[in-house]
Chain A
Amino acid sequence: MKMNGLPKFKSIHTSIAIAFSSLIICAVLAMSFNSFLLSSEAVKRNSYEHTGQLVEQVNANVETYVGNMESIAELALADEKLRTLMRLHDADSPEGLALTAEVSAFFGSIVRSREDIASILFIGSNGSLVSNREESALKPYHELMNQDWYKAAKEAGGESVISSSRIQHLFEDEYRWVVSISREAERGIDGSGGVLLVDLNYNVINDLCKQIHMGNRGYVFLLDPTGDPIYHPQQQLIYSGLKSERFDDILQAEDGSFEAVSDGAAKLYTVRTSEFGWKVIGVNYPEELVGDKKEIALSALRWGLICLVFGLALSLWLSHTLTKPVKKLDVQMKKVERGDFAVRAEIESPNEIGKLARTFNLMTGKIKDLMEQVMWEQEDKRISELKALQAQIHPHFLYNTLDSIIWMAEMDKRDDVIRMTSALSKLLRSSISKGEELVPLRQELAHAEHYLVIQSMRYRGKFAYSIEVEEELLDQYVLKVLLQPLVENAIYHGIKNKADQGRIVIRGTACQDGLCLQVEDDGVGADAEKVKERLARGRLYSGTSGSDGGGSGPSGSGGLGLDNVDHRIRLNYGEPYGLHFESERDEGTTVTLRLPLLRESVGSSPDREGEG
């Protein structure tokens, strides 16, 4: 699943989160970067195009204005009256003055019809002087002929000369900003001629260029072929040297765009050259474009970041919700591992994990049932084992008894042989009968007595016994073969090692909450502590192994057979019933069984030993 070298993540949660996150980061980065590239490229291209269009527009307008001036100049020069006037010898003649007035009216009508034209003036070589204004006082003839526009037109010889922006001083006390076009009229045969001047109101150019804004700080300016600015929004600053432009570079540049540094700032110059040599220059600050770029980058970054944060949060949340039930399941499984089968994984979701949880619940339930079944089966097995054991007559005991019978027979003690054989027979019979677990106390006492009979005959004169049981208790049901092991214990561990004759008493009394059976002897006694400890151990391990004492037979080293009895009682009746052991060295031992009072055998009917 994972490539080598990559760290292996411990949880699905982390894996999912990291996988999702990487995916989201990559996607967002790619998208942001792409959108940034696309939009910044678009902004740049738009800006270049826009600048180009604006500059083209300004150029077209300027060309229109200048074109108009040229056509006006042409129109004026083609005027018959003006032609006649300039051919006159004496412009001051009455004819000349009349013509001057007429031409002046003609010029006046042109200027009035056009707002962009400031003035029209004609200077003839014959001394004629015509302007569009009849009243205003013109400057003297010779001063006008000294002005630049006149000289330039003379030099150009019939070609139109376009001036830069300048102060026009034609009329006394009137100084106007104009751009002028001057043109020499065709010379007559006699050399007569003149120069026509058309002034364009500079306001027109100023307004045209001033309204152009490119970006926040971009602007347009005009340059004449000599490198003198015709219009520049900061013309004064340029003359003062506070600002500068790369005029030389612009003059040499072809139409198009180039970047150059002036005034410490990078500028993008977009240049167009008009028909008559003026250059229209658009100035942009690439810095502004960069600013736009930054803004675009910032916005791309911002949205990218927002997407990223949401994406990451989503991925964390998703991985969390996906793995949460799994973790819950894991916790429950740990509990099962520790043996608690009662757990249930409470996962309601209908997805795969939910199914898994339901299966898990089914599984633990099943395991729990199975465990219980196993426990029951073991218990059953143990009980049946005990049953089997309790019924057994120890072969050794049988052999000794038979030996005693033989011996008595040899001694011709016929009565004794009969008594003993009869007792053994009854004992065997009750053992063979695989009857019910519960028997009446009467029957149990009989069983114990048979045993006592046999033993008292074997250990002749060694002990006496008595059975003192309240009459009304005889019909109480008790577990089978309870007393015999106690008696056996009393004989082997108490009486047998006693020098004098001993005594065994079986007592049956009703104690506070049930039936108490006591087997009392006055033998050598035993170490009560040891026995008690053994009993306690037997109780502790009651569930594990069966009796080790070997049933009713004289069990081995201190086997006593007591624990078996105790165990059976507890198994059948539970607390507080059981065996109580009291013993004192050289004083005797008393074993007390505490049992419930049972009038009837519970469950199936007791097996009666009917035939005899």
Chain B
Amino acid sequence: MRKWFILSLCVLAAAVVIGLSSQEIARRLQPELPVILFVPKTTDFEIEFWEMMRQGVMTASEEFGADIRITGMREESDVAGQVALLERAIAEKPDAIVLAATDYDALVPVAQRIADAGITLITVDSGLRGGVSRSFIATDNVAAGSRAAEQLLVYLEPRDKGEQVVAIMNFVKGSATAMERERGVREQLGQEPGILILDTVFSNASEEMAYEQAAALLEEHPDLSGIVALNEPTAIGAARAIEDSGAASRVKLIGFDSSMEEVAYLEKGIIQATIVQKPFNMGYLSVKTAIEALDGRKVKPLIDTGEVVITKANMYDNDKQKLLFPFMEQ
């Protein structure tokens, strides 16, 4: 009786071993990659910034192993569209969502539902009010603003008498990014004596409006010696106004981000410097962080991807070229 007991025990053990190992084999044959939904502000990857971020996302997914699905709205201003899209995404139950929020407030409720559904939410580039996401990966815009101010101070020509008159051209009133950048600029310039900062103007991220505002500033303030333009179209508009009014020699311009036009103005010496973000790193780090969070590791709630100052002098440096001239794959 005892023998048969042992025998049946052995058979049982064998069955268990085979069962386990076949399960193991099946698991190894079909490795379950985490599904990560990447929702950029726009799916127009002709825009360098988002293309670079996409490349970063793909690079990280290859390195860490993730099934990346990209979805989003064509227009960056389509906030309602992004909300609806995220609502649908919750039903698909991806493991994580990497989101570049089109609005600081409007997406908070849906983001909360994402988090409630047990989906790991990471925000990239543009965050949400209230810290719904596990981690926010973006440029520290306050720091970027102060870097811009530092650059302006470098290029401002010393004056014998009177104050340096400086203007800040912002883009969207109420945008978190815009406000933070301005704060950075003001904090940095405020530390310097003898600097007069004019009232901030808002271009609404329109190049045309920026052109007109800059032209008006140049006319109203003949002693204006510096402008900080807080995003790309604003910088282009301001640069064009300076070029057209022939004020390039007296007004120094510091811009943000990069484009071919900006590069051209840099080469012409109308824009002295531009503060460039690192979208590739944002994409890479957001996926990396998402996977770390999925693995149950502790992730930083805020990751600063940093910014780089590009000037005419360093724009062809090896490490700057990649930021300024993203390699667009064909």
B-binding residues in A (CB < 8 A): 13, 148, 164, 166-167, 169, 173, 175, 177, 202-203, 206, 216-217, 228, 233-237, 239-240, 242, 295, 298, 302, 305-306, 309-310, 312-313, 316-317, 320
Contact = CB atoms under 8 A, between A and B. Distances in A.
Contact of A167 (B10, B11, B306, B316): B316
Which of A148, A236, A302 counts the most B-chain CB atoms under 10 A from its CB?
A236
B264 interface: yes
Given A202-B327, A309-B13, 13 more contacts: A177-B325, A236-B322, A237-B59, A239-B319, A239-B322, A240-B306, A306-B14, A306-B17, A309-B14, A313-B7, A316-B6, A316-B7, A317-B7
B65 A320 contact: no
Nearest to A310: B14
A316 B2 CA distance: 11
B18 A306 contact: yes
B171 interface: no
A234 B288 CA distance: 14
B21 A302 contact: yes
Interface in B287-330: 305-306, 316, 318-319, 321-325, 327, 329-330
Given A166-B321, A234-B59, A306-B17, A206 B281 contact: no
Contacts of A166: 316, 318, 321
B281 A236 contact: yes
A235 B281 contact: no
B24 interface: yes
Contacts of A316: 3, 6-7, 10
A203 B7 CA distance: 66
B284 interface: yes
A313 B306 contact: no
B145 interface: no
A240 B321 CA distance: 13
Interface string B228-260: 000000000000000000000000000000001
Contacts of A298: 24
A203 B278 contact: no
Q: Is the interface of A mostly helix, strand, loop or mixed?
A: helix
A309 B17 contact: yes
B3 A320 contact: yes
A306 B59 contact: no
B226 interface: no
B161 interface: no
B241 to A, nearest CB: 20
Contacts of B305: 240
A270 to B, nearest CB: 19
A91 to B, nearest CB: 25
Nearest to B10: A313
B10 A309 contact: yes
B327 A206 contact: yes
A197 to B, nearest CB: 15
Nearest to B305: A240
Q: Is the interface of B mostly helix, strand, loop or mixed?
A: helix
Given A306-B21, A309-B14, A236 B280 contact: yes
A233 B59 contact: yes
B316 A236 contact: no
A236 B4 CA distance: 67
B90 interface: no
Nearest to A213: B62
Contact of A216 (B18, B65, B281, B322): B65
Interface of B: 3-4, 6-7, 10-11, 13-14, 17-18, 21, 24, 28, 52, 56, 59, 62-63, 65, 260, 263-264, 278, 280-281, 284-285, 305-306, 316, 318-319, 321-325, 327, 329-330
A403 B258 CA distance: 166
Contacts of B65: 216
Contacts of A239: 318-319, 322-323
A316 B318 CA distance: 73
A116 to B, nearest CB: 13
A177 B14 CA distance: 61
A320 B7 contact: yes
Given A216-B65, A298-B24, A309-B17, A206 B321 contact: no
B280 to A, nearest CB: 4
Contacts of A240: 278, 281, 305-306
Contacts of A305: 17
B322 to A, nearest CB: 5
Nearest to A174: B260
A175 B324 CA distance: 10
Given A203-B329, A295-B28, A306-B18, A235 B13 contact: no
A305 B10 CA distance: 11
Contact of B327 (A169, A177, A302): A177
4 residue pairs, one from A and one from B, having the closest CB atoms: A239-B319, A313-B10, A309-B14, A236-B280
B190 to A, nearest CB: 30
B277 to A, nearest CB: 11
Contacts of A228: 318
A312 B65 CA distance: 42
B46 to A, nearest CB: 16
Contacts of B17: 302, 305-306, 309
Contacts of A233: 59
B329 to A, nearest CB: 7
Contacts of B24: 298, 302
B321 to A, nearest CB: 5
A388 B233 CA distance: 149
Contacts of B6: 316
8 contacts: A217-B62, A236-B284, A237-B280, A240-B305, A295-B28, A298-B24, A302-B24, A309-B13
Which of A164, A206, A234, A295 counts the most B-chain CB atoms under 10 A from its CB?
A234
A236 B3 contact: no
A13 B5 CA distance: 15
B323 A236 contact: yes
Nearest to B315: A167
B278 A236 contact: yes
A298 B330 CA distance: 43
Contacts of A169: 316
A236 B283 CA distance: 12
Nearest to A210: B329
A242 B280 CA distance: 11
A187 B305 CA distance: 51
A211 to B, nearest CB: 12
Contacts of A217: 62-63
A320 B10 CA distance: 14
A173 B264 contact: yes
Contacts of A312: 10
A152 to B, nearest CB: 14
Given A216-B65, A313-B7, A203 B321 contact: no
A237 B58 CA distance: 13
Contacts of A216: 65
Nearest to B278: A240
Contacts of A173: 260, 264
A306 B21 CA distance: 10
Given A164-B318, A175-B260, A237 B284 contact: yes
A462 B281 CA distance: 148
Contacts of B278: 236, 240
Nearest to A324: B3
A242 B318 contact: no
Contacts of B318: 164, 166, 228, 239
A142 to B, nearest CB: 14
Contacts of B322: 235-236, 239
A611 B163 CA distance: 183
